[in-house]
Structure 1
Amino acid sequence: MVDQRAVLPPRLAASWQRSRQYGVSPETVRPAFSGTVDHDSLFFECGQEVLSGLHSTLANEPVSLMLTDSAGLVLSRLCKDTTIIRSLDRVHLAPGFSYAERDAGTNGLGLALADRAPSLVSAEEHYCTGLWGYTCAAAPVLEPGTNRLLGSVNLTTWSKSSKELLLALAQAAAGNTAALMLARSHGHLAPPGPRGEVFHVYADRLPAVAANLSAAWTDALAEARAAMEHGRVVCVTGEPGSGKAALASTARRSVRPRERILNARPPAPQDAASWLALWTPEVGKADTCVIVSGADALPAYAAEELAGLLAAARGAFVITAEDHAGVPDALRALIDTVVDVPALRYRPDDVLPLAGHFARESRGRPVTFTPAASRALTAYPWPGNVRQLRQVVREAVSRADVVDIRHLPPEVFTSPGRRLTRMEAVERDEIVRCLTKPGTTAAQAASMLGMSRATVYRKIAQYGIKVPRR
């Protein structure tokens, strides 16, 4: 087969190169098959609704509309044209099959997921000749508020058909899916994720407290420090907000105390080029270490360019990611040691020391937590990890020098679960507000709220409210 990389646009050429490295056949499509497809998520519900509406307007067109998950697994396919359906079945572009780059080579949906950007792949731009008869337009769907990659919307038609509007339709469907998810979640979203900030990590970010936490934390810290002492490239993994960058910087400071540390957080996909241009000139400078945060959220082409720069600065960078397996291959090849940071719910002994540190950091002086407030903070499972704890503590100490349960937000007294409607959240907050008043019983709270005592008890169970005794 003729090497077309010289005439392909850069993103497609890079995708072809990855396809070859994955060992994808250039002649035959052999996507992996999974017997399980998740139809229960909010993403699938909203995406299927949007595609069904679009499908009704394209009923007479030979276009197949598909929804995939973030790994490229086809979740659904809508099409009434029997000819294109039979043709797609022959190349396994059907529910249950994975069309990620590593399975099917360069294709529209695989490229959209790899680069987290809208993609159009037509005819001979596909890596595999078996796909040359198609044009595929796809757009990623990002979770509102967090920019986490959820999957993609893919439109496939014959390569000889008009393709001018195909990509626009895919982008509109992806945007409508995200908007519908926002509406269905009643606006209860996680805080927006970082958009490519680059900043110094100072030595006092987490002072002595970082080296004197629980065994789970200190063991991970010691593992990272030992690897860095031997010049190994470390990847720190863990849930969002668990303290990956803090552990990386603390370990690095203990090895090279005078070193300047930069933390580069992942950009929005469309900002990747300017993000790289902003800070990569610092790579390789004397006494400089870079923490590449959220590497598993980087577009594939940006990861490949970055890997080339970092390879020459071996040992002078650290990578963080939610999942090591999600780091793009080019960067993952540089990693020698993986260190996992346990989530805060597995480190309850760390909650109060960290809370005390965040309180002093916010108020500029020590702050006291009452026994009841301490029990509430320790008992809560902290789904948002250390980042959530920091926010809760800063809000509480802005109201008092002695933090009691009445100064803590209602979320600390409720079990994490389904998203609440706005009315449910208001009701829960009022119940917690009454119950956290000094000396208030459930019966007194019921009187304040104008409810029966039985109703209050039922609501307490419904919302999983647990207010510790003083």
Structure 2
Amino acid sequence: MGALVPVRSSIRISWERSEASRVDVDRPSPSYVDRVDRESTLSRAARPVIDALTSELHNEPVCIILTDSKGTVLDRRGGDPALLRRLDSVDLAPGFRYAESDVGTNGIGTALEVGGPILVDGAEHYTGPLRMFSCAGALITHPVTGGLLGVVDITTHANNSNSLLLSFAKLAARRIQQLVVEEANALDHALLSDYYAACRHSGGSVLALGDEVFMMNSHAQQRFDAIDQAALIDRTRDARGGTKPEVFLADLPSGLVARLAYHPTFVGDTLAGGVIQIKEQRTAVRSVTSARTPSIPGAAEASAVWRHVTQEVLDACSRGEWLVAEGEPGVGKLTLLRAAHDHVSPNRRLVVLDPTETATADELLSEAYEELDSGADLIIRHAHLLTSEVLDGLAALLQNVRDGAQAREPWVALTVLADRSEISDQLSIQLLRYFPRTVAVPPLRYHLEDVPALVRSLLTKAGVTDLTFSTMAMNQLMRLPWAGNVTHLRSVLAAVARRRRSGLVELEDLPPECLATTRRQLTAIEALERDAIVEALSAHRGDKPAAAIALGMSRATIYRKIRDYGIVT
């Protein structure tokens, strides 16, 4: 009878902890985390190290795994197809938590428990299916604060185990720690530089915000009291993490309206944070007539952003000032212009001309001339699509109007796309010079708090008055990016109304596209896959393993897809 192989004390104690946690010895059951931060400081610093290590071990059946401080897998790289299939079979994949209390003794969870690097060879794993692997885990700590950031783990087949695995893991951890400090220094320096530059050039109130940094200059501290400062800080949450410049408004408790202009700071492709310059907006003096709420979708309970743009259009319309409304497709440019005109000049006729609906350039120009000559007001929709011939003719026509050819000067407005690449030089030179003001109509994702009021307004307009949305369903609508803006929302409501014309709309009644919150544009194939996963989850009452079997996916794959598409389960 062979002698029993002695077990290291660290492994024996780990088995005792695993037994006390009631870990299943026959099958690992790691918990799954719906959302993991793949753009954290750790992830960014680790990426080039893992890239290099993967290249070094390119021909080896070795997988490099990065986890956060709780053992949740953030990244998994390398490995041959056979190794990857085996890892998927035990859910050692992004999004799954390999804490020792979940899956027993392993290179990730045990390294976290003992607070140091460890190599766990095949038979040393507590759970049977994990014994086909050997894994070496090394802790990644913050070189300055000493805080635990995560674990880098190198896993291979048990029969390929080598003591060098742990050396590679420890070396990778040290490289990542060095990059954490380098990146933090570079990001903080860049943000501080932009902050000081904004303070010098603006002479006004300036804020700066990063992952670990928040600064407010003395001008802002003196100009705004503590309550207004708290409101400003709260409003900056809209900008945090933003990668593009944007402008938004904040209604402050004191009654002031602040205009916040956010500009991001980058180091290479990495966002360091952003600087916000604050200016106080002059409150418009409104007449009794303009104080009435116009019949614009969502205006009755509008956000500060929508109220502001509405008032800008009303002010221009009431003064007869020619106007350009620019914005993404579907934001409601035409609806806003029409509503403002009906509010200010309800007895005047308004005509809308659209180059996409007019057969020829001559017909469009002829119709524009006749309508303006008759005394009608005019909106030219999709002005960015006008041909050179039409632009020449319209420029001459508008010059005649300006010269006093009509007894009463009509009101004229244009709608154009916000994308400046779509605006030709000829349009800018020949036509836009007649329009002293441009109003930017914001995309729906910038004022999602208006979604409930818009839903009620759009349903009422469609004649669907007996349909209401549950709190969960409405909250889900308010999480979506709405790539097609209000037009997109209208089409979703139409789809809901086709299936249910009265009663309460629950979360499961929403179309599949509404049960995913990813903000990137999906390809047609990805959209079909997303819908198939949503439908499978619905058919199996949210049972992810059952849905995976029905779709022919592994459990790890369906969890990854659910996370990538932002599917609500």
- TM-score normalised over the length of structure 1: 0.51
- SS of the residue corresponding to residue 379 of structure 1 reads coil
**Contact 1:236/1:339 (<8 A) preserved:** yes
Partner of 2:411: 316
- SS of the residue corresponding to residue 325 of structure 2 reads strand
The answer as to 2:430 corresponding to 1:335 is: no
The answer as to 2:563 corresponding to 1:461 is: yes
The answer as to 2:392 corresponding to 1:304 is: yes
Partner of 1:386: 486
Q: How many Å apart are 1:279 and its aligned residue?
A: 4.8
**Contact 1:397/1:403 (<8 A) preserved:** no
**Contact 1:234/1:336 (<8 A) preserved:** yes
Query: What is the aligned counterpart of 1:247 among 310, 325, 336?
Result: 336
Larger strand proportion of the pair: 2
**Percent pairwise identity:** 31
Correspondence list, 1:135-146, <5 A: none
**Contact 2:352/2:380 (<8 A) preserved:** yes
Q: How many Å apart are 1:243 and its aligned residue?
A: 0.8
Q: C-alpha distance in 1, partners of 2:323/2:378?
A: 12
Correspondence list, 1:152-191, <5 A: none
In the TM superposition, structure 1's runs of 4+ consecutive aligned residues that sit over 6 Å from their partners are none
**Contact 2:384/2:416 (<8 A) preserved:** yes
Partner of 1:417: 520
Partner of 2:314: 225
Q: C-alpha distance in 2, partners of 1:345/1:435?
A: 27
Q: How many Å apart are 1:207 and its aligned residue?
A: 5.1
**Contact 1:244/1:320 (<8 A) preserved:** yes
Query: What is the aligned counterpart of 1:395 among 487, 495, 518?
Result: 495
**Contact 2:296/2:336 (<8 A) preserved:** no
Q: C-alpha distance in 2, partners of 1:324/1:303?
A: 19
Q: C-alpha distance in 2, partners of 1:438/1:343?
A: 36
Q: Which amino acid aligns with 2:551?
A: L
Q: How many Å apart are 1:404 and its aligned residue?
A: 2.5
Unaligned runs of 5+ in 1: 1-204
**Contact 2:452/2:474 (<8 A) preserved:** yes
Partner of 1:65: none
Partner of 2:220: none
**Higher RCO (Cα < 8 Å, 6 or more apart):** 1
Q: How many Å apart are 1:411 and its aligned residue?
A: 2.4
Q: Which amino acid aligns with 1:321?
A: V
Aligned residue pairs, count:
261
Q: C-alpha distance in 1, partners of 2:298/2:563?
A: 37
Correspondence list, 1:44-55, <5 A: none
CA shift digits 1:154-185 (9 cap, x unpaired): xxxxxxxxxxxxxxxxxxxxxxxxxxxxxxxx
Q: C-alpha distance in 1, partners of 2:494/2:460?
A: 9
The answer as to 2:521 corresponding to 1:432 is: no
**Contact 2:303/2:447 (<8 A) preserved:** yes
* Greater Cα radius of gyration, structure 1 or 2: 2
The answer as to 2:544 corresponding to 1:442 is: yes
Q: C-alpha distance in 2, partners of 1:350/1:394?
A: 18
Q: How many Å apart are 1:225 and its aligned residue?
A: 1.2
Query: What is the aligned counterpart of 1:362 among 443, 462, 477?
Result: 462
Q: Which amino acid aligns with 2:341?
A: R
**Contact 2:324/2:437 (<8 A) preserved:** yes
Query: What is the aligned counterpart of 1:347 among 439, 443, 447?
Result: 447
Unaligned runs of 5+ in 2: 1-293
Q: C-alpha distance in 2, partners of 1:431/1:324?
A: 34
User: 1:418 and 1:391, CA in 2 relative to 1: closer, same or farther beyond 3 A?
Assistant: closer
Partner of 2:378: 290
- SS of the residue corresponding to residue 383 of structure 1 reads coil
**Contact 2:297/2:453 (<8 A) preserved:** no
CA shift digits 1:197-225 (9 cap, x unpaired): xxxxxxxx965634542211111111111
The answer as to 2:364 corresponding to 1:275 is: yes
Q: Which amino acid aligns with 1:351?
A: V
Q: C-alpha distance in 1, partners of 2:538/2:379?
A: 42
CA shift digits 1:434-461 (9 cap, x unpaired): 3346942323432443433222112223
Q: Which amino acid aligns with 2:444?
A: L
CA shift digits 1:27-59 (9 cap, x unpaired): xxxxxxxxxxxxxxxxxxxxxxxxxxxxxxxxx
Q: C-alpha distance in 1, partners of 2:499/2:478?
A: 20
Partner of 2:350: 261
User: 1:437 and 1:324, CA in 2 relative to 1: closer, same or farther beyond 3 A?
Assistant: closer
Q: How many Å apart are 1:294 and its aligned residue?
A: 1.5
- TM-score normalised over the length of structure 2: 0.42
Q: How many Å apart are 1:380 and its aligned residue?
A: 0.3
**Contact 1:239/1:322 (<8 A) preserved:** yes
Q: How many Å apart are 1:280 and its aligned residue?
A: 3.8
Q: How many Å apart are 1:358 and its aligned residue?
A: 1.6
Partner of 1:134: none
Q: C-alpha distance in 1, partners of 2:344/2:306?
A: 17
**Contact 2:358/2:364 (<8 A) preserved:** no
Q: C-alpha distance in 1, partners of 2:483/2:537?
A: 23
